[in-house]
Amino acid sequence: MTAPDALRISVIVPAYAAAHLLPRVLAPLMAMQARGEVAEVIVVDDVSPDDTAAVAAELGARVIVMERNGGPGAARNRAAAEAAGDILWFVDSDVIAWEDGAAKVAAAFADPAVAAVFGSYDSAPDGRHWFSRYKNLMHRFYHQKANPDARTFWAGLGAVRKEVFLRVGGFDTETYRVPSIEDIELGYRIRRAGGRIAVDPTLLGKHLKVWTPRSAIHTDIFRRALPWSRLMIAREGMHDDLNTSRGERAKALLAGLLLLSLAALPFAPGLWPASLALLALAAFANRAFLRFMHAHGGPGFALLSFLWHQVYYVYSAAAFAWCLFEYHVLGVKNRLHVP
């Protein structure tokens, strides 16, 4: 049981059309509550078209039903205002937290300087297609090697002190009305308020989302790259962290040069030595990524992941370049809103 003077943890699960996921997602969380490791498990039904609320209630969670659909940021804000705990532990409705999650969260906040903490996906995502595994494992790759003192926050499996969360104003649901970078932006405000954001790579959860190239490209560009680029350019600046680090920017430039050289080959076949050299250089620069993917799926999976990752670099960098153009050339200074 949790010691009487320990910080109480409220688990918050924003859910939309998640009835089919909740039995798996809530099982370890309700077990933590039964063991006294968390004070409560709150599921916020964001006006789901299915029986999400009923399933959550049957499984023993405290259920809050939103009056209108407002996205995960609004759902988390609503639950945070009503939560009984001192710590708000956000767990997405498609993430199964590991059984030791509450202990990891409690250990992080034993340090009074820590205002927030987040973890990582585990190495066994649900989707078995190579592309879906690549996307989920890519996320793990960056979080596993992240600076332990982060500048941003991740709400998929992350916790924050309630006092800090309320003091900085919670998630910005006016700017980010759809799932986007509302957690990243929250992290910036927590840091500006003097709070430390810790990364614990052992705080793990299994991601149940199955990615396709189409869904990944749309999310990466319109829900991540464009709004994050605009936020950095207009307000935050570039930081040497996660997938915006200096090393990642250099790899994106290299990927762009590689794809340009390949596109030029039909018109200038004599450039093939340059393309080959750029490919070798990209492989060397991404050697840690290649080793990581090889360890989780073998050589074929590593090769496919590496090749697609070059495409990811190019469209992400192109999104950043477009945002620079619209800010400095077109004069669009305040386009942070994500409808």
pLDDT single digits (tens) 24-75: 999 999 999 999 999 999 999 999 999 999 999 999 999 999 999 999 999 9
* Ranges of CATH 3.90.550.10 domains, the chain: 9-139+146-211
226: burial class by Cβ within 10 Å (0-12, 13-18, 19+)?
Answer: buried
User: Alpha helix (H) ranges present in the chain?
Assistant: 22-34, 52-58, 71-82, 101-108, 130-144, 162-168, 182-192, 213-218, 226-231, 246-264, 272-285, 287-328
CB contact at 8 A, 105 and 85: no
Q: Which CATH class is domain 9-139+146-211?
A: alpha beta
Per-residue pLDDT, 4: 38
Name the DSSP class of 94. Answer: T
| pLDDT of amino acid 144 | 95
CA 335/CA 91 separation, integer angstroms: 29
Per-residue pLDDT tens over the stretch 250-264: 999 999 999 999 999
pLDDT tops 60 at residue 5: no
**Degrees (nearest 5) of the Cα angle 197, 177, 14?**
65
Strand, coil or helix: 15: strand
140-153: per-residue pLDDT in tens?
999 999 999 999 99
Residue 150, phi then psi, degrees to nearest 5 = -90, 160
Q: How far apart, in whole angstroms, are the C-alpha atoms of residue 143 and residue 152?
A: 11
**Cα-based distances in Å from 268 to 258, 260, 265:** 14, 12, 5
Mean pLDDT of 298-308: 98
Angstrom distance (rounded) from CA 99 to CA 18: 21
**pTM value?**
0.93
**279, pLDDT greater than 90:** yes
Q: What is the pLDDT of residue 1?
A: 34
pLDDT for res 178: 86
**Those residues with Cβ within 8 angstroms of residue 86's Cβ, 6 or more apart along the chain or in another chain:** 7, 8, 9, 161, 162, 163
Name the pairing type of β-strands 40-45 and 87-91. Answer: unpaired
Residue 337's CB is within 10 A of a number of other CB atoms, namely 12
pLDDT of residue 234: 87
Closest CA to 278 of 305, 303, 253: 253
